[in-house]
Structure 1
Amino acid sequence: MISKKQNYPQIKIIHVILIVFSFTACKSLNQKSTDLAGLKNVSEFPIGTAININKLINDEALMALQISNFNSITATSDMKMREILPAENQFNWKKADTILYYANKHKQRLFGHNLIWHSSTPKWVEEKGAKDNVWLGEFMKEYIHKYVGRYKGKVAGWDVVNEAFESKGSEYRKTFWYNNLGKEYIANAFRYAHEADPAAVLFYNDFNIERDTTKLDAVLKMVEEFKKEGVPIHGIGFQMHIRMDTPDEVIAYSLKKAAETGLQIHLSEVDIIFNTHNDERSGGIENYSSLTNEMKQAQAEKYKNLVLMYRSIVPKKQQFGITLWDFTDRDSWIKGFFNMKDWPTIYDDDLKPKPAYFGFLEGLKVKIEKE
């Protein structure tokens, strides 16, 4: 439970963060496309997007928006193990090299997502590793050393391990990696990544930790254990796939608790949905089948509040940045994965900025003063 007596940072801002939205007071969230400043140009920390690199470079309109708004880039799937090593001894660097070239050309930070994730483990690794966990442990070490070593000094940071806890609660997820190597696989993955690139910022990344305080506490307990044991962990990634009904007060509490670790905080996969789901594929619950103007304005306020909370709660030296998980409704993963309609991002299907864009922009521009 979250106590109402929690001491949150006292913040003076032009617009109050945690208030009920009144769209009549938000003319600034209804600006025209000609007023776009470019998100990266008004931010004190990197603004990123996760995106499919082939889709990006083959769509001039999409690429123009990406270049004008973002100075950090993450691959949605192109740098996961299933893409990098689809068959034994057959490394495929083409897409990773392409996204690195793109990042360098457009002066963007490249963030690596991810090294170890149960859902992106190739079938051949599962089949061989299930028969020989000694081989599996050596494989993980060699894979991370080779992969991170190849991009040493070129990839700024990595999601070393992704989603190692159950969707809800405090238990470790009983994945292929956990079942064959025990929970120590997480710490070892961080050790191997640090050995391969001592300068890279290494993150643990997960979802629901902004709203499930039991799960958050379990992650923070693991982080503290790592710090005591000298495991090189440098950051916590909040995926931040949130819903409109996720209370801002709970998000604020979670960010404050995570920031107290002193680690870098990355809002790593941000989108905001109206409908609900059960966290499983095809598990969408479609409460809304169309998007109204009032819903657009409420989403804009939610984006603004999220940015303001990040800026005001997370100390500047710990602000690794905010990354959107795709930035157009047309390309969002939400509809395909959960099999439901939704409108989670800051641009619509026609690549036009939504009120959500201007809410995000305002969240970056509003002056804040901490007491």
Structure 2
Amino acid sequence: MIHKKQRYPQIATILFVSTVFAFTSCKSVSQKTSSEAGLKNASEFPIGTAINVNKLINDQALMALQISNFNSITATSDMKMQSILPAENQFNWKKADTLLYYATKHNQRLFGHNLIWHSSTPKWVEEKGAKDNIWLGKFMKEYIQKYVGRYKGKVAGWDVVNEAFESAGGEYRKTFWYNNLGKEYIANAFRYAHEADPDAVLFYNDFNIERDTTKLNAVLKMVEDFKKEGVPIHGIGFQMHIRMDTPDEAIAYSLKKAAATGLQIHLSEVDIIFNSHNDERLGGIEKYTSVTDEMKQAQAEKYKNLVLMYRSIVPKNQQFGITVWDFTDRDSWIKGFFNMKDWPTIYDENLKPKPAYFGFLEGLKMKIENK
């Protein structure tokens, strides 16, 4: 892992997406045997997956695939506030400790997701905090420092604040935290986490910033303000829940702008869908009810191009890694959350590698010219 305090060189040359296309479109993604060495062995940076820890440790086939392909692991929900502190003064460390044991045993990096997110705030915190914002400010500090301090030196990095901007545009999301503590809650969360573990790599994480330029610019303005004010922010997380029709040119542009900050860049929650949605729960728009071989191949090319853009645009010492959000269509969050069919991951319902898997692998293996 790259240490956050390492000095980053100026970006001298950026390989634009047109160059990427020049050497990725020359041939289709080939189907290799599934016995080939896993994704992590083809990569110069960590390859991660988010997963439910109980599902993982109780499914030997799933675990074997996770171990062979990944060297970084993130909890889907098991390390969020509602899981860690479901009731006042009742910290529940069991799942986080289990995940840490698993990561240590299998020589994987453990990434913490997340500390502050409006959607995972327990009801009891909202009820108490809405009545007393002084208590809420103290609670946030004590929660972060107790949590990060417990895993100091064991969790490599954290999504400190998740999704603090509106789904579209550049406005701060008017969440429970914003409404009671103001936007300063974001900077303070980073300060508290850094005090608890000065060596942890601290990220701001959000979605749609790869395609919504207004939202991206607002996030980057916040980052620049933090840097001027000495707020300890070390990375930007691009969730990358993208669609097949998300333009690669837009993704390349956004990665270039984010990389220019000199911060670590994490593709933190990658999956690629065919259908669309309105970013709201149950808001799926189901254009496709089945998937064809042609669609699978197109998805493979999309995965390959995404990996190549990350490798070619983000300087090596800023490449924190790529994490997929679950890695099987069987376990993907997309279907349940958006109430629609889709096939967003690199393994199918039967835990068999899809063309997307081999596209991802080719993206890791292909030579980057003029880098």
User: Normalised by the size of structure 1, how large is the TM-score?
Assistant: 0.95
2:5 counterpart residue number = none
| 2:24 matches 1:18 | no
2: CA distance, partners of 1:85 / 1:368: 45
2:125 counterpart residue number = 125
2:370 counterpart residue number = 370
1:48 counterpart residue number = 48
2:31 counterpart residue number = 30
2:68 counterpart residue number = 68
Question: Given the superposition, is the C-alpha separation of residues 121 and 361 from structure 1 closer, same or farther in structure 2, using an over 3 Å criterion?
Answer: same
1:9 counterpart residue number = 14
State how 1:1-371 maps to structure 2 within 5 Å.
9-10=14-15, 17-18=20-21, 25-26=27-28, 28-34=29-35, 36-370=36-370
1: CA distance, partners of 2:17 / 2:283: 40
Structure 1 runs not aligned, ≥5 long:
1-6
Structure 2 counterpart SS, 1:66: helix
2: CA distance, partners of 1:156 / 1:369: 31
1: CA distance, partners of 2:164 / 2:80: 15
CA offsets 1:121-158 (integer angstroms, 9 cap, x no match): 00000000000000000000000010000000000000
1: CA distance, partners of 2:76 / 2:124: 22
CA offsets 1:31-81 (integer angstroms, 9 cap, x no match): 2323x2200001000000000000000000000000000000000000000
1:3 counterpart residue number = none
Q: Which amino acid aligns with 1:165?
A: F
Structure 2 runs not aligned, ≥5 long:
1-11
CA shift at 1:11, angstroms?
A: 6.4
Moved over 4 A (4+): 19-22
Structure 1 counterpart SS, 2:228: helix
CA shift at 1:293, angstroms?
A: 0.3
Q: Aligned-residue CA RMSD in angstroms?
A: 1.7
- Work out the percentage of aligned pairs sharing the same amino acid: 85
Structure 1 counterpart SS, 2:48: strand
Do the aligned partners of 1:12 and 1:368 also contact (CA within 8 Å) in 2? Answer: no
CA shift at 1:30, angstroms?
A: 2.0
Q: Which amino acid aligns with 1:105?
A: K
Q: Which amino acid aligns with 1:151?
A: Y
Do the aligned partners of 1:18 and 1:248 also contact (CA within 8 Å) in 2? Answer: no
Question: Given the superposition, is the C-alpha separation of residues 11 and 213 from structure 1 closer, same or farther in structure 2, using an over 3 Å criterion?
Answer: closer
1: CA distance, partners of 2:13 / 2:168: 25
CA shift at 1:180, angstroms?
A: 0.1
User: Normalised by the size of structure 2, how large is the TM-score?
Assistant: 0.95
Q: Which amino acid aligns with 2:303?
A: Y
1: CA distance, partners of 2:42 / 2:308: 13
Q: Which amino acid aligns with 2:20?
A: I
Aligned residue pair count: 360
Structure 2 counterpart SS, 1:370: coil
Do the aligned partners of 2:16 and 2:252 also contact (CA within 8 Å) in 1? Answer: no
CA offsets 1:285-311 (integer angstroms, 9 cap, x no match): 000000000000000000000000000
CA shift at 1:164, angstroms?
A: 0.1
Do the aligned partners of 2:51 and 2:325 also contact (CA within 8 Å) in 1? Answer: yes
Question: Given the superposition, is the C-alpha separation of residues 370 and 25 from structure 1 closer, same or farther in structure 2, using an over 3 Å criterion?
Answer: closer
CA shift at 1:8, angstroms?
A: 7.9
Q: Which amino acid aligns with 1:132?
A: D
